[in-house]
Structure 1
Amino acid sequence: MFKARWYFRCGSWIPNEREWTKAADILIPEEKQRIGKFKYQKDAKSSLSGRLLIRKAARDICNIPHQSQHPKRTDAGKPYLQIGDSNHIRAFNVSHSGDLVVLAGDFSHPDVDIGVDVMRIEWPSRTTVPDYFHTMRRQFTESEWQVIRRPTDEWDKMHVFYRFWCLKESYVKAIGVGLGIDLQRLEFHTKESNRGADVVCTTQLFKDGNLQPDWMFEESYIDDNHCVAVALNQNSVIPQTCVDRFIELTSEDLFRDLPEALNPDVKYWREYAGKEARPQSKRKPSS
């Protein structure tokens, strides 16, 4: 099995000192510093959970021990693992939103292009849905906006909005260019709802008006409030088949076989424990 579709509910994870210092011990200095700079515990947990998912995939699926995993990032910020002097693995991607962090990986070939994006469905902050859509008007094509605005219920509109956002983000992350691309060059044609029990793989991508047949998109919901999309380059090493839904991992799964910290960084734990848990959450407006 060379594929991974995993999610972890980092929002409900309450790490203790042993877990936090154990996880921090396997981080490279750049990762550790980046995670330590977050203002809220929520963001620090999300980022650390993503690193743990990557390490677990490399260990469990690729049989690469922790000490041989050297996390790196491309110039655009896309993570990959350096293995030895010349080998690397970049056939994975992580995303986090709301209370979830997800990993999608296809390790049948080290150079597969894959991107994932998960989004929590939520109301716009301090504005109405129409005004929010107006602010975001340049992120989608006119055809996409017609589909987004089609539902009569505003909450349903937000679901469709985040569906298209996940699709665009997953593709941009797969090609590793960050947000340096004009999103109106990308147009997605959806053929069925993504809110059912099955994974939807029928959505098509048009770039500059041209169909991109080598790309497949897996769309699903992890729960009622989190939609996810996986972009996968359908080159010769990847079968053109859809995969199963995302599988939930627990903190026990992430910490299993993780080596104990030889010199626990208690200061790093205390800095985390002293942070505010999270910013004020957005609430659905009353009717």
Structure 2
Amino acid sequence: MSIKNGNVRWAFDLRSWRCTLNDLELATACIQPEEKDRLAKFHFLDDFKASLVGRLLMRQFIKVCLPELDYNAIRFERDSRGKPFFRPNATDQIAAHIDFNVSHHERYAVLAGSFTKNFNENNRQLVGVDVMKMEYSGGKPLSEFFRLMHSTFTPNEWQFIKARSGEQKQTDAFMRHWCLKESYVKNIGVGITIDLQSIDFRLSTVDLSATDIVRNSVVSFEGAPQNHWVFEESLLDNDHCVAVAVKNPSTEYTTELSQNELLFEMIDFERLMKDAKPLIAVDSEYSRKVLGKQLKKTL
């Protein structure tokens, strides 16, 4: 699991993880008690697994950034909006700014992280990430779905979406715009509670790729161009797009990273649990109950 000039892009394929009882016993002992309680409320096994992997990705990210820190000493708290953040101990001397964000949808859980050593307190590099399956399965005709979702996008964005040829291409473009907006609002920490038409993306590259990162999409907010932002877009596979919103990109990010160094790295369970140490006692009964949860769909 690599960190490139202070930046991390990891993806976990949930479909590839056929979690055993032993897997769950270990994994659920390596998260904080309050997160364990939070996860227990998920009705479906799919959602439980995705959120659990997200928590473990966060822990592994901090461990990679701060290898001198004991795994079971890593502590997260949540801000007023519920977003997790790393809380170092008062005695930890960390001369760097750490920011990260996680997302999951359908097959993938992803993490984007930033570990910036040379930073200005008023100009810190921040990240937001979102992943989307490029599929519409709502039952209604796509045109009716677009009509109902009219307020989601600006006229400029709808023009781009509807100019694509065929329903699948239009669906791809819709999900791509949604992914970009989610990454942006997650970065600024407001979620999708704001008017999404106040955010206007202009896309210069028509199609995304799994082998190249697109970085030329730009955004305006309430008509004002938003400078000091970079948006990374790519595909994880033919069906899933991913977007990373980088605010105040550092010098290392802008000058020392090649175009495709930040393609998402696929992480399996063994690598996810590297150097993991339990924080709490193994709970076999809890893990058995989790394995008894229903699936929304087959992963």
- TM-score after normalising by structure 2: 0.88
Structure 2 vs 1, CA of residues 49 and 280 (structure 1 numbering), >3 Å: closer, same or farther?
A: closer
What is the CA distance between 1:7 and its match in structure 2? 0.3
- Which residue number corresponds to residue 80 of structure 1? 85
Does structure 2 conserve the Cα–Cα contact (< 8 Å) formed by 1:40 and 1:279? Answer: no
State the one-letter code of the partner of 2:27.
A
Higher relative contact order, structure no. (Cα contacts within 8 Å, ≥ 6 residues apart): 2
Instruction: State whether structure 2 residue 224 is matched by structure 1 residue 210.
Output: yes
| SS of corresponding position for 1:172 | helix
Give me the whole-angstrom Cα distance separating, in 2, the residues matched to 1:74 and 1:260: 25
Give me the whole-angstrom Cα distance separating, in 2, the residues matched to 1:235 and 1:118: 21
Does structure 2 conserve the Cα–Cα contact (< 8 Å) formed by 1:72 and 1:80? Answer: yes
Give me the whole-angstrom Cα distance separating, in 2, the residues matched to 1:129 and 1:202: 28
What is the CA distance between 1:66 and its match in structure 2? 1.8
Instruction: State whether structure 2 residue 19 is matched by structure 1 residue 19.
Output: no
Residue number among 272, 276, 280 corresponding to 2:294 in the alignment: 276
What is the CA distance between 1:280 and its match in structure 2? 7.7
Pairs within 5 Å for 1:218-257: 218-235=232-249, 239-240=253-254, 242=259, 243-257=261-275
- TM-score after normalising by structure 1: 0.91
Residue number among 103, 107, 114 corresponding to 2:127 in the alignment: 114
Gaps of 5+ in 1: 282-287
What is the CA distance between 1:119 and its match in structure 2? 0.2
| SS of corresponding position for 1:220 | strand
Q: Identity across aligned pairs (percent)? A: 35
- Which residue number corresponds to residue 179 of structure 2? 166
Alignment RMSD: 2.1
State the one-letter code of the partner of 1:131.
E
Structure 2 vs 1, CA of residues 235 and 261 (structure 1 numbering), >3 Å: closer, same or farther?
A: closer
| SS of corresponding position for 1:125 | coil
Give me the whole-angstrom Cα distance separating, in 2, the residues matched to 1:129 and 1:238: 43
Structure 2 vs 1, CA of residues 21 and 142 (structure 1 numbering), >3 Å: closer, same or farther?
A: same
Pairs within 5 Å for 1:187-198: 187-196=200-209, 197-198=211-212
Does structure 1 conserve the Cα–Cα contact (< 8 Å) formed by 2:134 and 2:239? Answer: yes
What is the CA distance between 1:277 and its match in structure 2? 2.1
Does structure 2 conserve the Cα–Cα contact (< 8 Å) formed by 1:22 and 1:261? Answer: no
State the one-letter code of the partner of 1:257.
D
Instruction: State whether structure 2 residue 117 is matched by structure 1 residue 99.
Output: no
State the one-letter code of the partner of 1:273.
L
Instruction: State whether structure 2 residue 183 is matched by structure 1 residue 175.
Output: no
What is the CA distance between 1:40 and its match in structure 2? 1.0
Does structure 1 conserve the Cα–Cα contact (< 8 Å) formed by 2:204 and 2:217? Answer: yes
Give me the whole-angstrom Cα distance separating, in 1, the residues matched to 2:53 and 2:180: 23
- Which residue number corresponds to residue 284 of structure 1? none
- Which residue number corresponds to residue 141 of structure 1? 154
Instruction: State whether structure 2 residue 283 is matched by structure 1 residue 265.
Output: yes
Give me the whole-angstrom Cα distance separating, in 2, the residues matched to 1:86 and 1:130: 57
Does structure 2 conserve the Cα–Cα contact (< 8 Å) formed by 1:124 and 1:132? Answer: no
Structure 2 vs 1, CA of residues 16 and 206 (structure 1 numbering), >3 Å: closer, same or farther?
A: same
- Which residue number corresponds to residue 285 of structure 1? none
Give me the whole-angstrom Cα distance separating, in 2, the residues matched to 1:204 and 1:82: 32
What is the CA distance between 1:141 and its match in structure 2? 0.4
What is the CA distance between 1:262 and its match in structure 2? 6.7
Gaps of 5+ in 2: none
Of stretches 6-15 and 79-88 in structure 1, the one that deviates more from structure 2 is 79-88
Structure 2 vs 1, CA of residues 191 and 133 (structure 1 numbering), >3 Å: closer, same or farther?
A: same
Does structure 2 conserve the Cα–Cα contact (< 8 Å) formed by 1:121 and 1:158? Answer: yes
Does structure 2 conserve the Cα–Cα contact (< 8 Å) formed by 1:121 and 1:227? Answer: yes
State the one-letter code of the partner of 2:221.
K
State the one-letter code of the partner of 1:227.
C
Structure 2 vs 1, CA of residues 125 and 221 (structure 1 numbering), >3 Å: closer, same or farther?
A: same
State the one-letter code of the partner of 1:29.
P
Does structure 2 conserve the Cα–Cα contact (< 8 Å) formed by 1:40 and 1:277? Answer: yes
What is the CA distance between 1:235 and its match in structure 2? 4.8
| SS of corresponding position for 2:103 | strand
